[in-house]
A and B are shown apart, each in its own frame.
Chain A
Amino acid sequence: MRVNETASKSAAAVERARAAGRKALIAYLPAGYPDKQTSIDAAIAAARNGADIIEIGIPYSDPVMDGAVIQAATTQALANGFHVADVFDIVAAVTTATDAAVLVMTYWNPVLRMGVDDFSRRLAGAGGAGLITPDLIPDEAAEWFAASDKYGLDRVFLVAPSSTPERVAMTVEATRGFVYAVSIMGVTGARAKVSSAAEAVVAAAHAAAAPRVCVGLGVSRPEHVREIAAYADGVIVGTALVAALRDGGVPAVGALTAELAGGFDQVGAGR
């Protein structure tokens, strides 16, 4: 099912970073936090300061994979009037203003509610690269396979430290763009150290012939970026950027992204 590899926007972004002698930096920010325009500005600031891929999260009432910081932000976005359809405007604004590939991260029910085909068509129309789906496993994704093929969207599935070799192989096969390696058994949130499990998860996905594997959960500092860049194809940062947006607004998101991107330089790879 790995059709149109070349058409994958997020794969292209990871490969551009690789060609530049570094790894991809992927920045997560919630849609509509603290409001729609600021979330657009923050994503643009991240893209202009070194993020190769922007991950726009759809605020959801029951975010079981998220820790306290992202929960608080998405709850506020909902309270401030965010609607799911706003995400297409945000994706369009960021893709127009930057070269970054823009993925949407969403729990599955908002997509189901709109209709998987409708959602996919509108996302593709907005210039989006595809979806990261934290509570959709390939086993349940028949509708999403059909819609993502129809509209040429990336399917970023997750692999975890607990995934068996069989499940890693099945998930790698189902994925288009890159495989999201969950670094730790837990929810999103900044942690002092990157889990030692992360490298093994990446190795398992690479062993299953995944061309691109990026690591997320618990990544918040340039030294984490440096550490992960040694074995993975990309690094995903979420909570730290959300906290920066909360505490310092858009400039803080730009500054932190630049600092995190500096983590690649420390590997000596240059920019």
Chain B
Amino acid sequence: MDAFLAGGAGARSLRHAPGPYFGSYGGRWMPESLIAALDELEDTFEKAKADPEFLAEIAELNKNYSGRPSLLTEAKRFAGHAGGVRIFLKREDLNHTGSHKINNVLGQALLARRMGKTRLIAETGAGQHGVASATAAALLGMECVVYMGAEDCRRQALNVARMQLLGATVVPVTNGSQTLKDAINDALRDWVANVDTTHYVLGTAAGAHPFPAMVRFFHEVIGEEAREQILAQTGRLPDAVCACIGGGSNAIGIFHGFLDDASVQIFGFEAGGDGVETGRHAATITLGRPGVLHGARSYLMQDEDGQTIESHSISAGLDYPGVGPEHSYLHDIGRVTYEPITDAEAMDAFRLLCRTEGIIPAIESSHALAGAIKVGRRLAEGVGDPRELIVIVNLSGRGDKDVETAADWFGMLDEDGNVRGTTLSTRTAKGAGTRPSAQYAQTEETQA
């Protein structure tokens, strides 16, 4: 079915799959009402992609606003726990707003401006994409509304405050499981009603065409930089590349740089939650089966009736029962290996990176780190000098937003939610209500 597997001179590149279909995945499983907007977006994107002025605009913002290129840092002490192979971290955590999300958001916001739209809407799970969207809206002088599951608002209250500080309106979503998939549903409902003025900044490489190919395009810079940097630092390509997968945008961005390099093994790590055998996980490719959700055909966590199953993960950013269609294709053709990582494995890797490298990673990215430990140990088996092996991990975000979750996980909080030995509660806002605009306090009441 695929030339890549056949190999040989005729093997076609996997790096620039244009959509709408990736094998049998992708497409547009969407209400007719939104098709015209998707057509307009596709047309605008295709023209922009070929427009040197647009590409220069993106490059300028990446360099002077986001802080690209992001570093490629060798994690020497961490590597001792990964079979002794050399581990390099692609530092998307150092981007402005603290994750890879800004790459996509700046691109889409510029496209929205080209389409004459003045309002951005977005969904967010962990809050990183919402913060990035609010940031881009502030930068370009646009209105911004972010839909966020009420459960996620509680888990990521600081990011709710960040978005509000940036001038965005955060709408807590109380439907369904109150997490990312429900936030996407409400964003789609908003979009269909306001499509003339509004662009929906989908935050991951999923959804209806052109979103998967377009979101990948804006994240391709991750893989292109990483490839160039590893060649400059080590003189060779890596043996393996690792990334975490929720919808899969950071992963497809870094994978892009290496998909055509047959010597590079590529790994995507899904959220295994309490363990895939418990049913409480978000390991869509590992245990799901193909279906349609949010506009694309892809692997999906669904029951026997085709109802979406609620996913579970300690990481709000990976807590999604779907996955981008290109990942489903890369799985089926065997180019990328997808494996689950449990909450416990991810949190062990989280702590390990903090203590060995002085870097607090996002819990999402900690899944990639935990996976890299396994991959490193596997690769090192029977190898004389494991330091001849190289693994790149996409460190997709920083962990500042996850400090409360981590403190709770590691038993650093007492029963009142205070950090042990202090009166620093993570639950009660100090001085809440002393300012007239206690907006989040109102939001919480609305949820109740």
Number of A-B residue pairs at CB separation under 8 A = 111
Pick from B34, B35, B194, B306: contact of A110, CB under 8 Å: B306
Give 1 or 0 for each of A255-266: 1 = CB within 8 Å of chain B CB.
000000000000
Interface size on A, residues (CB 8 A): 39
Decide: A137 near B30, CB < 8 A? Known: A109-B292, A185-B193: yes
B178 to chain A, nearest CB (A): 12
A201 to chain B, nearest CB (A): 11
B4 adjacent to chain A (CB < 8 Å): no
Distance of A112 Cα from B292 Cα, bound (Å): 8
Question: In the complex the two chains form, is A109's CB within 8 Å of B35's CB?
Answer: no
A48 adjacent to chain B (CB < 8 Å): no
Shortest Cβ distance from A85 into B: residue: B305
Find residues 306-323 in chain B having any chain A CB closer than 8 Å to their own CB.
306-308
Find residues 108-160 in chain A having any chain B CB closer than 8 Å to their own CB.
108-114, 134-137, 139-140, 157-160
B192 to chain A, nearest CB (A): 6
Find residues 59-98 in chain B having any chain A CB closer than 8 Å to their own CB.
none
Chain A contact residues, majority secondary structure: loop
Distance of A175 Cα from B413 Cα, bound (Å): 61
A80 to chain B, nearest CB (A): 14
Distance of A78 Cα from B309 Cα, bound (Å): 12
B43 to chain A, nearest CB (A): 12
A83 neighbours in B (Cβ, 8 Å)? 305
Can you list 28 A-B contacts (CB < 8 A)?
A: A60-B307, A62-B176, A62-B181, A62-B308, A64-B31, A64-B192, A65-B189, A108-B292, A109-B291, A110-B305, A112-B306, A113-B291, A135-B30, A135-B292, A137-B29, A137-B32, A140-B27, A140-B28, A158-B33, A160-B32, A160-B36, A161-B33, A163-B36, A164-B39, A167-B32, A185-B196, A186-B189, A187-B193
Q: Which 10 A-B pairs have the closest CB atoms?
A: A113-B306, A110-B306, A160-B33, A162-B36, A186-B193, A61-B307, A109-B306, A61-B308, A84-B305, A64-B188
- A134-B31, A167-B36 known; 10 new pairs, CB 8 Å cut-off, are A65-B189, A84-B306, A109-B302, A158-B33, A160-B35, A164-B39, A171-B32, A185-B192, A185-B196, A186-B192
State the B residues within 8 Å of A (CB). 27-37, 39, 175-176, 181-182, 185, 188-189, 192-196, 291-294, 300, 302, 304-308
